[in-house]
Amino acid sequence: MVTVPVRRVGHGLGLPLPAYETAGAAGLDLRAALGEGEALVIAPGERQAVPTGLSIQLPVGFEAQVRPRSGLAFRHGVTVLNAPGTVDSDFRGEITAILVNLGDVSFTIQRGDRIAQLVIAPVTQALLTETDRLDDTPRGAGAFGSTGIDGGVVFGKDSV
């Protein structure tokens, strides 16, 4: 287990820290850090950056992923727009969840509502080396939906 220092931003005071809701949970629940009595309405097709009132200090070699909550996505069509949103280890600002309402009715968020989940994960950085040729594979340059299908979609002659 990795230790992650957390700093509350003013409007996050009084809210519970993110927590794993079950022993086997991969994500910590993030809550909406709205003002007391304040509500945020996301109309169908609209997106909003929802504050969590938290900043974190991830160890080098880790990231935090802001992911949708499956219940919100299934029941209301509300999801994280840039899923997963990435929080880098050198970011010290407030974590926000960019939510989008893909449902057909407005969705209201209140202070303290669980709006997303945060997954802490290791990161591997790669060293890219330019080359003129890549090794051949059975799939080759087959793109979206092409695995196991002859003549899959390919975007341009140089697609990989």
**Residues marked as binding?**
69-71, 82, 86-88
Residues annotated in a binding site for substrate: 69-71, 82, 86-88
The answer to whether the beta carbons of residues 118 and 95 sit under 8 Å apart is: yes
